[in-house]
Copies of this chain bind each other. A is one copy, B any other.
Amino acid sequence: MTRLLPLADEPARERADAARNREAILAAALRLVETQGVDSVTMDTVASEAGVGKGTLFRRFESREGLMAAVLNTSETQWQASVLSGPPPLGPGAPAMERLLAFGHSRLRTNLTHASLIEAAGKAGQRSVAAMSFANLHARYLLRELGVDGDLQLLATALLAPLEAVVLEQQVTRDRIPVERVEAGWDDLVRRVVGA
């Protein structure tokens, strides 16, 4: 009853074993995904490989999608870092237009590389604070920098939409369109939208 207080709404610290388990799970998941491919990784396998009960997985990660989203988040974070502080033209230092083009290419390649993982992460991947909103925000920033006016949030969304993994997969895998052509298409789109 006596709640002698964690300050205000402190996030209620994670217990030591809980933290250990979370990392073990993530590590196991990552390893299994890399070795066997996303689709053949089952929750039971991850659990036993991490030396943990199944219930634990679901308490920490909500669902299979959530776990995959967490795994995905690792590389997503790295990508964000290289956008924010990596070498130009992706990182800062190049003219806005070049950055925007590089941004698209990089996003395109990344999404293609992780396509199956992204799919497995499903909606959990999109709602993850990081993923969509960071890219959108950054695109908006570059558009503003380029002097584009209009509803930048929607414009950014429209530019990013054709870079989504599902769309790319369709183009590259089913329609056999070479990646370079898709890249060129995006460049064209950007130039039209920016009005250069």
Residues of A within 8 A of B (CB): 123, 126-127, 132, 150-151, 153-155, 157-158, 161-162, 164, 166-167, 170-171, 174, 177, 181-182, 184-186, 188-189, 192-193, 195
Contacts and interface: CB of A to CB of B under 8 A. Distances in A.
A79 to B, nearest CB: 20
A154 B161 CA distance: 13
B185 A158 contact: yes
B162 A157 contact: yes
Number of copies: 2
A195 B193 CA distance: 9
Contacts of A195: 192
Contacts of A153: 177
Given A158-B161, A164-B167, 8 more contacts: A151-B184, A154-B177, A154-B182, A154-B184, A157-B162, A161-B167, A164-B166, A192-B193
B170 A154 contact: no
Given A127-B174, A170-B132, A193-B193, A188 B157 contact: no
